[in-house]
Amino acid sequence: MGAPNWRPRFKYYHWSLSLAGAFLCFFIMFASCWYYALIACALTGTIYKYVEWKGAKQEWGDGLRGLALTTAQYSLMKVEDKDPHPKNWRPQLLILVDGKYSKEMIDLRSLNLLNLAGQLKAGKGLAITVAFVRCPATRGMHAENRKKAEEIKERVQQDMTQARLRGFGKALLYTETQIEGAVSALYQSIGIGGLRPNTVFLNFPRMGENQDQHTEQMIFAEQLCCGAQNDNCMVVVKGITDFPRPNDRLRGYLDIWWIVQDGGILMLIAYLLQQHKVWKGCKMRVYVISQTEEQNEEIKHALQRHIYMLRIDANVFIVNMIDPDSVDDDAVQKTLNMEQRTRTLLKKNLSNLSNGGMLNGGFLSDDSGRVTPQTRNSANNTLTVPGQQQIRQSIIETSFIQKTFEGMDNQDTLNSS
């Protein structure tokens, strides 16, 4: 395999001579007594597997590693370093998470982002998780900071394993003045050859005025802008604090709100999720917003034809918008009062929570300054969220719609969900 530590003393060594010698040995063994030869081969294989299972330390076996490296290098050289045809496009993920990891605490948003990526990839394709680790400007690449980054990298790898996401974990050190350069360098240098991420997953930042939240917002803005400039597909996840685990099995619907110029990424994400065993029992529904009722049938048939050409099984629903000026003032006022009452109850519940530990701003709201700590149970590697059973945020959005899902038997559909 060309390993530099392979230096045989035999002057006339060549791999073909070794192969010929191996064939000659096997020939003599089976020619002498074939059943003893089979027993010897079986015994040798059993001993090898036992040593491999017990994890004994050894300095031999570099041949298999060299073969794997040679195969990987050959495969990478065969992959063309250019954009694939749109029909062959597949997401190769770069997951960006906050570096506030420790052995006891973890941001629940980051863990659920890994769960989403794992269920989206189902163990296939490229997945690289990068944790941004902030260090003091005066110390930079100090040995203590490098040790911290290595610990965070191991924590990321463990969480990827827990989320059943096969890939690579990295930790990126940066200082306050290096945010722009660190993010830009990451996008330009990540990957090798044609094996590079084309889709970026990142969490929406917590909104607040303190220094940590301000830094999180700056990093998010830089990640978003640099990713768009690098022609990556950007997937921003907001409030992902309640996401199914790999062992869950769901029944229900995957709802897609159709965006004309999204490049089909929403449909592709929903389809890939549906291939995972967690979402296998869910059906897909596509919602389309129409400005006028006259175009309903035309839009519906066109989208159904498009979905059929994509070979995706999904139901199409039309949502008709109306002029907000024609909405009854009482209905608007009732909706606003309901939203205000919900926010008041949420703030009252938040006052009962205590601060401290690793914070998860997304659990309550990405717009809230108050946060909830998550505690990692080192015994069983599980997470505990204080107050999670008592507090569930209700999100009410104001929309003025009329004759929703025109022409469909939607009452049963909505009730079944």
Q: Is the pLDDT of residue 410 over 50?
A: no
Q: Is the pLDDT of residue 284 over 60?
A: yes
**Residue 376 pairs with which residues in a beta bridge?**
383
The token pair at 195 is: 């094996």
User: Inter-axis angle of helices 108-121 and 143-162, to 10 degrees?
Assistant: 50
Please name the amino acid found at residue 291.
Q
Give pLDDT tens digits for 87-126: 777 888 999 988 765 545 567 888 888 888 888 876 577 8
User: Inter-axis angle of helices 34-54 and 15-32, to 10 degrees?
Assistant: 120
Predicted pLDDT of residue 137: 65
Highest-pLDDT range among 21-30, 128-137, 180-189? 21-30
Query: How is 236-303 classified by DSSP, letter by letter?
Result: EE-S--S---TT---EEEEEEE--TTSTTHHHHHHHHHHHSTTTTEEEEEEEEEES-GGGHHHHHHHH
Please name the amino acid found at residue 319.
V
Q: Is the pLDDT of residue 404 over 60?
A: no
User: Which strands sit side by side in the sheet containing 199-203, from one edge to the other?
Assistant: 168-174, 127-134, 93-98, 199-203, 233-237
- Which residues lie below 8 Å from residue 391, measured CB to CB, with a gap of 6+? 346, 349, 350, 353, 364
Q: Is the pLDDT of residue 279 over 60?
A: yes
Q: Is the pLDDT of residue 76 over 50?
A: yes
Distances (CA, A) of 168 to 78, 94, 131, 191, 244: 22, 10, 11, 11, 22
Of the candidates 62, 181, 87, 165, the one whose C-alpha atom is nearest the C-alpha of residue 132 is 181
Give pLDDT tens digits for 338-371: 888 887 876 766 555 444 433 344 434 454 444 4
Mean pLDDT of the chain: 74
Mean pLDDT of 264-286: 87
386: left (phi over 0), alpha (psi -120 to 50) or beta: beta
Predicted pLDDT of residue 5: 52
Mean pLDDT of 388-402: 33
Predicted pLDDT of residue 392: 34
Predicted pLDDT of residue 394: 34
**Rounded to a whole number, what is the distance in angstroms from the first to the last CA of the chain?**
57
